[in-house]
Chain A
């Protein structure tokens, strides 16, 4: 049987809005984050590599790829070598399901329930990060990766409950459907869920005030301590792609996805532009919040999750259901 080379599929998956776009966009978001952090701290940030330092993350990436590769003698070799890159692949794969230019990278890949599916993919990716720290045979990595797992698994639950709010409002568990059915962006219909989602996202992405897995003063390099060279590059990339993924999720669930006014020409171009603008806005907001706060202790982080965020997310869902069933039909 002959299989025709589907050039469009290959282009979409490998170049735009697939792998290459995600890679370079992640590096660009890294630059945006560093600049926001620097300006908040009254500094300049990267400025020499390329115009305004925009090539800095690329320089970091290339430099790391060309460093000597060291594998500790006591490390679990297979897991140590491959967990970072598999984790990165899972994240990129999850991103391929989000409609970026009006359709997802793999056309027709969306299905009812893919919201649950991609969140499961991200959970597996984080578990692989934990494994890479565990396989390092370094006590600081062990502590750091244990903290990653504790924090991520804990905050996954309120995150999912909060993600159900837009699902309920759109009456579908498919991301493409949620993004497309936002006659009004859900941030306006359920602002409480948006605020809580951003806070929970800070914890998922391990940013201040939930920065513990990367607390240099306590766990040195955390799970990355023993990694160097190319594997470290992919660990950093995984973290950055996770930030992009989290922001993309916010855009799809609350900000109306890539849809926005189309002024002239191809809708694909405008959808991509709106998506990028909204995503950058979310990235800037999360980075801004990061700069404002100190780091909480692990027990304070866990208290915040189980005693505050979890009940609040249940309440948020209840409130949304109530509003949607009785109030909103009167308004539309």
Chain B
């Protein structure tokens, strides 16, 4: 007999899983990953089915999709945007460049992958990853949240 608070918490988790609002930020990408992310909203892939909405302001979003290496000029901006997002929040690094620096690793204005600046919850490799791969990554992230405790917010 589950207690009321557990049932409520389950409902809250359900709501969070069904309505992940994303913010897209390009911190130094070649646009390849970005156009695949924008393609997610178009009729062929249509992620609005999952309740995913592209939000304009960091304050409205739950998930930060970052693409591209983090250039030195973008590093502080990325951190600032991450700080502006309210809890619970998640970061998904999309593309080889965001995961580790990609082909640009070691260049003089490149800090590296996204996890050098902010904590990352999911990595989606590819150059660029196909939209199916991005959806797969986001779904895996949402499923991993289901297993976590309802009040486990990072």
Contact = CB atoms under 8 A, between A and B. Distances in A.
A67 B88 contact: yes
Interface stretch (A46-54, A125-133, A241-249, A296-304): A46-54
B56 interface: yes
B60 A66 contact: no
Contacts of B34: none
Secondary structure at chain A's binding surface: helix, strand, loop or mixed? Answer: loop
A228 B60 contact: yes
Given A42-B43, A48-B18, A68-B86, A221 B60 contact: yes
Interface in B68-125: 84, 86-88
B122 to A, nearest CB: 19
Contact of A229 (B16, B84, B86): B86
B92 to A, nearest CB: 18
B57 A56 contact: no
A221 B57 contact: yes
Contacts of B49: 44-48, 53
B152 to A, nearest CB: 13
Interface stretch (B7-15, B25-33, B126-134): B7-15
A43 B15 contact: no
A44 B19 contact: no
Given A38-B48, A226-B59, A232-B60, A56 B86 contact: no
Contacts, number: 88
B118 to A, nearest CB: 17
B interface bracket (residues with beta carbon within 8 Å of A):
20 to 34
Interface in A32-72: 34, 38, 41-49, 53, 55-56, 58-63, 66-70
Contacts of A62: 11-12, 15
Contact of B16 (A38, A47, A66, A225): A66
Nearest to A225: B57
A70 B55 CA distance: 17
A229 B85 CA distance: 10
A227 interface: yes
B88 A60 contact: no
B24 to A, nearest CB: 12
Contacts of B16: 63, 66
B15 A228 contact: no
B86 A70 contact: yes
A120 interface: no
A48 B142 CA distance: 13
A66 B87 CA distance: 9
B19 A56 contact: yes
B136 interface: no
Contacts of B43: 41-43
Contacts of B14: 59
Nearest to A66: B12
Contact of A48 (B50, B55, B86): B50
Contact of A220 (B18, B19, B51, B57): B57
A267 to B, nearest CB: 37
A48 B47 CA distance: 10
Nearest to B17: A59
Given A48-B18, A216-B56, A63 B62 contact: yes
A69 B86 contact: yes
A61 B57 CA distance: 17
Interface string A88-132: 000000000000000000000000000000000000000000000
Interface of A: 34, 38, 41-49, 53, 55-56, 58-63, 66-70, 216, 220-221, 224-229, 232
* Smallest CB-CB A-B distances: 8 pairs: A62-B15, A221-B57, A68-B86, A59-B18, A49-B18, A68-B87, A47-B49, A228-B59
Given A63-B19, A69-B86, 16 more contacts: A41-B43, A42-B43, A43-B46, A45-B46, A48-B18, A53-B49, A58-B15, A59-B14, A59-B19, A63-B15, A225-B59, A226-B59, A227-B60, A228-B59, A228-B60, A232-B59
Interface of B: 11-12, 14-16, 18-19, 42-43, 46, 48-51, 55-57, 59-60, 62, 84, 86-88
30 contacts: A43-B42, A43-B43, A44-B48, A46-B51, A48-B18, A48-B49, A48-B51, A49-B18, A49-B51, A53-B51, A55-B18, A56-B51, A59-B19, A60-B19, A62-B11, A62-B15, A63-B12, A68-B86, A68-B87, A68-B88, A69-B86, A70-B59, A70-B84, A221-B59, A221-B60, A225-B56, A226-B59, A228-B86, A232-B59, A232-B60
